[in-house]
Structure formats: structure tokens, C-alpha cells
């Protein structure tokens, strides 16, 4: 008799074979259609990447979402069964298919249209997906096929073909980098970008906006073509550069703004704003304890020599600059990959918020307890509160990390400019943000005698450390509140368990239990592993049911009815937003809104929301706070200042 394990593998093979038999592709007169994926074995609920694969008779083709002069795109009809959510397909970049005098856009010989299947459970289900499509060569033939998609025993009846699926996923257009500019001069369109070449081509999403058979001319990194005289909308489309496709949109011509907002900002102004914002960032409650304690450690260093002060202060500055530039590199890379990003957007990730909360809570525990007891902890103190260039470098890095949840005045405008400019300008703005943040210690590095103006060491330092620890506890509680706006109660409990384990580990160390450091390390690693595996269950979109929650449909409806509106782009993790709301949005302001029939809309960006991100980018911002006001006397909305007061809001409403 075969071993039991062999029988299990044999049974699994038979199940897969039987289910795969159901997955035979459907053939029509000129095409063969199937559903493909990375793997047909499903071990847990979640989102699965699939694709509709079409293989045509040699030389035959079907069409893109905009077919050009003739044809039509494939249509997929289905009903998602209980526990399933079948998403609409996405469109890989097309190729030109020329039939003079006609120009069409589509796919020759084969194509895969990717789509996602969100499985909320692993219950056995099945559904039919019907596709209707045109397949053409010298003639066009409408064809239809019905595919069966089923899940049985944790196995989907799909063809495993990860290489082909990824190949076509890579052809799906990504968001164009900000340096790619689509502009118009009457009915002449210019697409400008340094990597364009003679084989690049613009495929418009819009139908009937241009003569598709007209030539698109390439010269000096510019692609030029014409549109019809009566076209007056914003042009959107896809451009190919080699094997890559980018989605590009013509920006609106003008957006009216208040006096000192980001639109029209110059590079010099952005640099000044970044420098001032970085300097003010030192005063944020997450950051102040870290930099203040570093200052006190420099006082200790001054007892050795001025050169020791210079060395430690310089190392701190280098740590700050290196960390800021690393953040800049990550943000620029994400921007170039098509992501809509900005300062603070990392706090839309519950995982990041959890890590920051435990880090800040841990620093608070360190400051408020006597962790300098014992030889091992003496080493820890040297690495966190002592002197030495390497320790100072790490302190600079830590200061930037704990500053990441905060946005200081001027920063929003500066970073909004930085993340829509060429990369070199982005890095330059971040460099001056870092220099502003590091300025106090940069001055100490240049003039070590400034340390003499700081208070002398004494017993009072222990009380100050404990006070700073309490400040960091408050900051970690705020991050926990941010998390509570994002995830379910079980996730909050899991993070609180992490806080408890950290406090418990500190107690082990303070009481000098044998191997306390190693035990604490193991506890930390286990919790971090569980955090990485934890399923943060996203709450329903915040304020989704509130009558004043923003949507583009509501905004357009208000504008169509000529009713004034005020939009507050905010988030639970935005400290400046919350301060503004507490200071400026008084009962008197809301009474004024009601008196003048101004609709108040709240766009909550606590969780990721691509629609809100697009609106923020529309106003040339990369982050929040952002405040928008419009009434029928204004051609375009006004972008208000980042820092609000009650009087300022009253003036804006009364004067416009």
C-alpha cells in the first residue's frame, strides 16, 4: 500500500486535473479565449490577479478602449457571486494598426486583459463571464464566448501562466512623471519629455478629438500633433516610450490661488519655504525631546574639548541630511513609478503607524525609566544619549524618523512644488528642508562655543528627561488615535499588546533579570514578525456616510447649481490640520457658512484614496492641509493658506 503522504499528493493531483479539465479555453471562429493567472491554488482569501487571454488567428486583431477610426473594445459581462468581487479589466498599452486611410488602435495576434478577483472567503462558487468582441483582419467579425470561472477545493479553474500575465501587466500604462508635459496652443498639441523618441506615439482616450491618420511629428524631445478645432476639453491619453506606456493628461490652464500658496511658486521660494519648514519642524512634540537631549549630550561633550562638540554636532547634521535624502530618493522613485505620493502619505499605512507608535512609545519608556542600570544598559545609553560620532549620526536619523508624522508650516507648499518638478529640483528642496531641520546643530558645529549658552548638567536633567518621556507618550497616544481611524478594534488591541510587551521588557532589564536583554530581543522579534503578518482590517471609508463628506460628484453638483462651497482636505494623522480645525473652525465660522449658504465638505485622506490624491495634485500640492473655496463670482477655486485663523476665514468669505 502506498504511504499516506503519497496518497495525499495523488489526491491533490487528481483534483487539480479534474478541475483543470473544466478550464479548457473557449474557441470561436477566429480566437481562443481563456482565463490565466499566476497560480490556480488559493490558500487564503484576498485579491488574486487574473487576466482574459485572447489568441487570434494569425494576423487578426481586436481593439483598445479607444479603437481609433473603426472597431470597438471587447466587453465583459458577469455577475459576482456571493463572497466574490470581480473587478473591471484594465487595458494594456495598444499598438497602431494601419489600414490606409484609417488608423486603429488595438492588439494583433494575442492580448491579455488583466483583472482582479477579490475572494472574501474560500467557499465553492462559480460564475459565467461572457465576452463580446470584434476580431478583424481585412474584414471584421463580431464574436462571443462564455467562460466558466469556478473555485472548488481551493482551486481555481484557470490556466497557470505567470510569465505571460506579467508581460501584459507591464504594458498597463502607469502615471506619467511630472516632467512629461502635455500642453496646447489653440488646436496644436505638444507632448514634451526627455525620453521621447521617433517611435513614440500618443494614443488618446478621448474619442473624436483628432484625425487619427494625421502624422505625429517628433523633434527635440517633443511630439506634436493637432486636434479638431471644436475640441475644448482636457486631452487625456497614453504615450509609449519603448516598451513602456505612460498615462498623461493635459493640465488645466489656471487655478486661482490666495496670495502665498504654492501655485506659481518659484524654485527660490520653495527652497526658502523648505528651509523655514525644516527649522520649525524641530519644535514638533515628537521631535523636540530627541533634539533637546542631543543638545544636553553636547554639553557633556564640551567638557572634553570644542573639537568633540564639533565632531558630534557634524555627525548629527550628516545623519539628518542623509536620512532626508534617503526619504527624498524613495518619494522621487515612487513618483516616477506613477504613484501619487506626498509628505505624510506613509501614515496612510496602518503598518507604518504601528511601527512609529511603538518606536515613540519605546523612546518615552527609555526616557522615563532608569535604563542606565547595569553594564549592558550602559552600552544602550551610549548608543542613544551619549557622545561619539556614530551615536550622533544615529540620533540625527532618529530625529528625522520621529519627525515624519509632522508637517510644519511652509512645508506643504515647498514639498508640493518639489514633487511635481524634475528630480534635481525635488532633491534640492529636500536638501534645504534637511538643512533647516539641522540648522541648530549646524551652527553648533561651526561655533562650538554656542554650547556654553545651554544649561549646565545637573539633577534637573533627569526630571527633564522624564517630562520629555511624557511628551512622547502623548505623541504615541495620538498615533494610536490615528490608527483607530483606520483599522478595527482587534488591530488596536494588537498594537497595545506591543506597548505592554515593550514596557515588560524594560522592566526585565531594570530589575536585572538574567539574560533580560536577550529575552527582550526575542519578545520584540516575535511581536514584529506577528505585526508583519497581521491582517489590518480596514474600516469603512471614514465619514463615508456623513452628509458633508466630499466627493467629486458633490463638488460638481454644487458648482453646477452655482452654490458656494468650502473643502477641507484633512486627515487624522495631520497635526497641522487638527490644530487648524480646533483654532479656526469655530461656531462663528460655521454660522457664517450657513448665513452665506456655503456648503462645507470634508475630504478625509486618513486612508488612501486615489480620488482625493488626484484632487490634491490638481492644486499642485503633494500633501495636506489643503483648503479650497469657490463661489459663482470666481472663475476657479481659491486655495487658502495652510495656517488658518478664524479671522482669516471670515475675511476670505466676506471678500469673495
What are 429-447's pLDDT values in tens digits? 889 999 998 898 888 888 8
| Per-residue confidence (pLDDT) for residue 353, from 0 to 100 | 82
| Per-residue confidence (pLDDT) for residue 628, from 0 to 100 | 92
HSE (CB half, 13 Å, CA atoms) of 227? 27
Place 476 in a pLDDT band, splitting at 50, 70 and 90.
Answer: confident
| Per-residue confidence (pLDDT) for residue 446, from 0 to 100 | 84
| Per-residue confidence (pLDDT) for residue 342, from 0 to 100 | 62
CA angle 510, 526, 494 (to 5 degrees): 90
| Per-residue confidence (pLDDT) for residue 19, from 0 to 100 | 44
Q: What residues have CB less than 8 Å from 271, skipping those under 6 apart?
A: 414, 428, 429, 432
The sign of the torsion formed by the CA atoms of 224, 227, 233, 237 equals negative
Stretch 394-414: mean pLDDT, rounded? 75
**HEC states along 563-597?**
CCEEEEEECCCCHHHHHHHHHCCCHHHHHHHHHCC
For the cut 90, the answer to whether the pLDDT of residue 449 exceeds it is no
Rounded CA-CA distance 201/246 in Å is 11
| Per-residue confidence (pLDDT) for residue 614, from 0 to 100 | 79
Rounded CA-CA distance 430/428 in Å is 5
> Of the ranges 29-33, 357-361, 617-621, 652-656, which one carries the lowest mean pLDDT score?
617-621
What are 56-99's pLDDT values in tens digits? 999 999 999 999 988 889 999 998 888 899 999 999 999 999 88
| Per-residue confidence (pLDDT) for residue 56, from 0 to 100 | 95
DSSP 52: E
Distance of alpha carbon 622 from the chain centroid: 10
| Per-residue confidence (pLDDT) for residue 33, from 0 to 100 | 95
Contact 366, 383 (CB under 8 A): no
Q: Considering the chain, what is the average pLDDT of its residues? A: 80
What are 540-581's pLDDT values in tens digits? 444 444 568 898 888 888 888 889 999 999 887 777 788 888
- Bond preceding residue 625 cis, omega within 30 of 0: yes
> Of the ranges 344-358, 487-501, 518-532, which one carries the lowest mean pLDDT score?
344-358
What are 306-315's pLDDT values in tens digits? 677 788 888 8
Segment holding 190, helix H or strand E: strand 188-192
Rounded CA-CA distance 97/119 in Å is 37
For the cut 50, the answer to whether the pLDDT of residue 297 exceeds it is yes
| Per-residue confidence (pLDDT) for residue 235, from 0 to 100 | 85
> Helical H runs in 263-388?
267-281, 288-302, 306-336, 350-368, 375-384
CA angle 204, 210, 211 (to 5 degrees): 115
pLDDT over 70, % of the chain: 82
Q: Please state the length of the chain.
A: 656
Rounded CA-CA distance 60/71 in Å is 13
- Region class of 109: left (phi > 0), else alpha (psi between -120 and 50), else beta: left
Rounded CA-CA distance 655/570 in Å is 24
Q: Which of 338-342, 398-402, 498-502 has the highest mean pLDDT?
A: 498-502
Output 147 or 408, whichever has higher pLDDT.
Answer: 147
- What structural domains and CATH numbers belong to the chain? 22-169 (2.60.40.1250), 174-249 (no CATH), 294-484 (no CATH), 552-655 (3.40.30.10)
Stretch 14-37: mean pLDDT, rounded? 72
Q: What is the pTM of this model?
A: 0.51
Q: Which of 157-171, 321-335, 376-390 has the highest mean pLDDT?
A: 157-171
Stretch 579-606: mean pLDDT, rounded? 88
Amino acid at each position: 500500500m502506498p504511504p499516506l503522504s503519497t496518497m495525499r499528493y495523488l489526491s491533490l493531483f487528481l483534483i487539480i486535473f479534474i478541475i483543470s479539465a473544466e478550464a479548457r479555453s473557449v474557441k470561436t471562429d477566429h480566437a481562443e479565449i481563456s482565463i490565466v493567472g499566476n497560480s490556480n491554488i488559493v490558500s487564503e482569501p484576498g485579491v488574486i490577479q487574473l487576466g482574459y487571454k485572447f489568441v487570434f488567428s494569425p494576423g487578426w486583431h481586436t481593439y483598445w478602449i479607444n479603437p481609433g477610426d473603426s472597431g470597438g473594445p471587447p466587453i465583459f459581462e458577469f455577475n459576482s457571486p456571493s463572497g466574490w468581487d470581480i473587478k473591471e479589466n484594465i487595458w494594456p498599452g495598444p499598438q497602431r494598426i494601419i489600414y490606409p486611410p484609417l488608423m486603429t488602435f488595438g492588439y494583433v495576434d494575442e492580448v491579455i486583459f488583466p483583472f482582479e478577483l477579490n475572494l472574501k472567503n474560500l467557499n465553492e462558487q462559480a460564475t459565467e463571464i461572457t465576452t463580446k468582441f470584434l476580431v478583424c483582419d481585412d474584414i471584421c467579425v463580431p464574436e462571443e464566448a462564455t467562460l466558466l470561472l469556478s473555485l472548488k477545493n481551493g482551486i481555481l479553474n484557470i490556466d497557470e501562466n505567470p510569465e505571460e500575465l506579467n508581460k501584459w501587466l507591464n504594458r498597463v500604462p502607469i502615471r506619467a512623471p511630472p516632467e512629461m508635459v502635455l500642453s496646447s496652443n489653440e488646436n496644436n498639441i505638444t507632448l514634451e519629455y526627455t525620453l521621447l523618441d521617433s517611435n513614440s506615439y500618443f494614443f488618446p482616450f478621448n474619442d473624436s478629438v483628432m484625425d487619427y491618420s494625421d502624422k505625429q511629428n517628433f523633434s527635440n524631445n517633443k511630439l506634436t500633433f493637432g486636434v479638431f478645432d471644436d475640441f475644448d476639453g482636457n486631452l487625456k491619453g497614453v504615450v509609449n516610450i519603448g516598451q513602456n506606456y505612460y498615462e498623461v493628461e493635459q493640465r488645466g490652464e489656471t487655478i486661482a490661488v490666495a496670495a502665498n500658496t504654492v501655485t506659481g511658486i518659484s524654485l527660490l521660494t520653495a527652497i526658502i519655504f523648505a528651509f523655514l519648514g525644516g527649522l520649525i519642524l524641530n519644535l514638533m512634540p515628537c521631535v523636540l525631546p530627541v533634539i533637546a537631549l542631543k543638545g544636553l549630550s553636547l554639553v557633556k561633550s564640551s567638557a572634553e574639548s570644542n573639537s568633540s562638540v564639533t565632531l558630534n554636532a557634524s555627525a548629527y547634521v550628516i545623519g539628518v541630511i542623509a536620512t532626508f535624502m534617503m526619504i527624498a530618493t524613495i518619494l522621487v522613485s515612487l513618483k516616477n513609478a506613477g504613484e501619487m505620493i506626498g509628505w505624510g502619505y506613509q501614515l496612510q499605512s496602518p503598518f507604518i503607524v504601528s511601527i512609529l507608535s511603538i518606536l515613540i512609545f519605546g523612546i518615552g519608556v527609555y526616557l522615563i525609566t532608569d535604563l542606565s542600570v547595569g553594564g549592558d544598559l550602559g552600552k544602550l545609553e551610549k548608543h542613544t544619549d551619549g557622545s561619539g560620532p556614530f551615536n550622533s549620526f544615529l540620533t540625527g536619523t532618529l530625529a528625522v524618523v520621529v519627525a515624519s508624522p509632522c508637517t510644519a508650516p511652509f512645508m506643504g507648499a515647498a514639498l508640493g512644488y518639489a514633487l511635481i518638478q524634475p528630480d534635481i529640483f525635488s532633491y534640492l528642496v529636500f536638501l534645504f528642508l534637511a538643512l533647516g531641520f539641522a540648522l541648530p546643530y549646524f551652527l553648533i558645529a561651526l561655533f562650538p562655543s554656542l554650547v556654553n549658552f545651554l544649561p549646565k548638567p545637573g539633577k534637573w536633567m533627569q526630571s527633564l528627561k522624564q517630562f520629555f518621556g511624557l511628551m512622547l507618550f502623548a505623541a504615541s497616544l495620538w498615533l494610536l488615535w490615528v490608527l483607530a481611524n483606520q483599522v478595527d478594534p482587534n488591530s488596536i488591541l494588537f498594537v497595545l499588546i506591543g506597548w505592554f510587551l515593550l514596557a515588560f521588557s524594560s522592566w526585565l532589564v531594570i530589575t536585572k533579570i538574567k539574560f533580560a536583554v536577550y529575552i527582550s530581543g526575542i519578545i520584540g522579534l516575535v511581536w514584529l514578525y506577528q505585526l508583519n503578518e497581521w491582517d489590518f482590517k480596514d474600516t469603512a471609508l471614514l465619514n463615508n456616510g456623513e452628509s458633508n463628506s466630499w466627493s467629486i460628484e458633490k463638488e460638481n453638483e454644487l458648482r453646477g447649481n452655482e452654490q458656494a462651497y468650502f473643502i477641507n482636505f484633512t486627515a487624522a494623522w495631520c497635526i497641522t490640520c487638527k490644530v487648524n480645525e480646533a483654532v479656526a473652525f469655530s461656531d462663528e465660522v460655521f454660522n457664517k457658512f450657513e448665513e452665506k449658504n456655503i456648503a462645507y465638505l470634508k475630504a478625509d485622506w486618513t486612508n488612501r484614496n486615489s480620488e482625493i490624491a488626484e484632487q490634491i495634485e490638481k492644486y499642485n500640492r503633494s500633501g495636506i492641509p489643503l483648503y479650497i473655496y469657490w463661489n459663482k463670482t470666481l472663475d476657479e477655486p481659491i486655495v487658502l493658506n495652510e495656517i488658518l485663523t478664524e479671522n482669516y476665514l471670515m475675511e476670505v468669505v466676506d471678500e469673495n
